[in-house]
């Protein structure tokens, strides 16, 4: 039986405004490029099968699950990860709202939640509860029960939330 050949190629990818060139195997997943090659460990791996959303990043303006893409597909792309949200030590309104509304406990899902919610707020600056729930349906949280996350997203959009 022939052993399949794993090829490599050099890619250039912009992440949070910095351009990186790396040689990657054709089978390498984008999440592993981010975490292991670029040391951007904010994006998490919860399942590796596209179910949990912990690895969510924004890829050329579109929310994606980075365990569902190959690193070579990012050649020439511009990616935003959770590390790129805060300016210096200044949290974004969304990050501050997560903090204020206790929208995280263990924090494992939080980077993915923040990226999904960031993508939502760009598209819909004052989302309804239903829109928020729909936008976050691909992100699993086993701690919070979700309601505080919905409240935080709503608060970040400048809407009143019931405490």
Q: For residue 144, state whether it binds ligand FES (rule: CB under 6 A).
A: yes
* Contact between 70 and ligand FES per CB under 6 A: no
Cα torsion at 106, 107, 108, 111 (round to 10°)? 170
> Of the candidates 104, 117, 136, 156, which one interacts with ligand FES according to CB under 6 A?
104
Place of tokens 């200044």: 90
For helices 110-123 and 93-100, angle between their N-to-C axes, nearest 10 degrees:
130
Angle between helices 147-156 and 93-100 (to 10 degrees): 140
Nearest approach in angstroms of CB 35 to ligand FES is: 11
Give SS3 for 64. strand
- Residues 114/95, Cβ–Cβ less than 8 Å: yes
- For ligand FES, give the closer residue by CB, 139 or 157: 139
Judged by CB under 6 A, the stretch of 19-27, 93-101, 128-136, 139-147 that binds ligand FES is 139-147
And the tokens for 128?
Answer: 């309804």
Nearest CA to 137 among 122, 125, 153?
Answer: 153
Does 41 interact with ligand FES (rule: CB under 6 A)?
no
- For position 101 contacting ligand FES by CB under 6 A, the verdict is no
**CB of 24 or CB of 52, closer to ligand FES:** 52
Instruction: Say whether residue 77 binds ligand FES (CB under 6 A).
Output: no
Considering the rule CB under 6 A, would residue 67 count as an interface residue with ligand FES? yes
Helix intervals (H) in 57-157: 93-100, 110-123, 129-135, 147-156
The reply to whether 50 sits near ligand FES by the rule CB under 6 A is yes
Q: Is 73 in the site for ligand FES (CB under 6 A)?
A: no
Residue 35 as a binder of ligand FES (CB under 6 A): the answer is no
Residues that bind ligand FES in the complex, under the rule CB under 6 A: 45-48, 50-55, 65, 67, 104-109, 141-144
């Amino acid at each position: 039986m022939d052993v399949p050949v794993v090829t490599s190629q050099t890619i250039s990818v912009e992440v949070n405004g910095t351009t990186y060139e790396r040689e990657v195997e054709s089978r390498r997943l984008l999440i592993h490029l981010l975490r292991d090659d670029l040391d951007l460990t904010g994006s998490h791996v919860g399942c590796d099968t596209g179910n949990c959303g912990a690895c969510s990043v924004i890829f050329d303006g579109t929310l994606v699950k980075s365990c569902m893409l190959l690193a070579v597909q990012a050649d020439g792309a511009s990616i935003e990860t959770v590390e790129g949200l805060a300016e210096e030590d200044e949290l974004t309104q969304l990050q501050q709202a997560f903090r204020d509304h206790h929208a995280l406990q263990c924090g494992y899902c939080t980077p993915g939640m923040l990226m999904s919610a960031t993508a939502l707020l760009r598209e819909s600056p004052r989302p309804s509860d239903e829109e928020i729930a729909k936008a976050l349906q691909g992100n699993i949280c086993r701690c919070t029960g979700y309601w505080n996350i919905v409240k935080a997203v709503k608060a970040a959009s400048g809407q009143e939330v019931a405490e």
